[in-house]
Amino acid sequence: MSTPSQNQPGLVASHAQYVKGAAEETIGNVTGNEAWKSSGVQDKEHAIGDMKAASANRDATTQGMGGIEEKAGNLVGCEGMQKEGAESKKQ
């Protein structure tokens, strides 16, 4: 039997999927390949939904990685990661 946390998306996996989608979309834009571009957009949208779901049950003040999370969010352009990193850094 699985526990509820095993069925919920994780932030790390969601961010990895977002980065993968951004890379695919960039490749599609550079090469003009619509399939890559579309796949990247879909991956990013799915990842954003998963991040929101994972964040809904997360206390950034106790489960964040502060500055590391904020810098990683800046690097990949993820506003949610930037915000949660800044929040956990304050604590």
pTM, two decimal places: 0.63
Chain CA centroid to CA 36, Å: 19
Beta carbons within 10 angstroms of residue 56's beta carbon = 8
Domain extent listing, the chain: 10-57, 64-91
- Tokens describing residue 58: 């997360």
pLDDT at 66: 64
Among left, alpha and beta (phi > 0; psi -120 to 50; other), residue 64 is beta
The band of 40, judged by pLDDT with boundaries at 50, 70 and 90, is very high
pLDDT at 65: 60
- The Cα–Cα gap between 48 and 77 comes to 12
For the cut 90, the answer to whether the pLDDT of residue 24 exceeds it is yes
- Tokens describing residue 20: 């993968």
Contact in structure between 8 and 34 (CB atoms under 8 Å): no
pLDDT at 11: 75
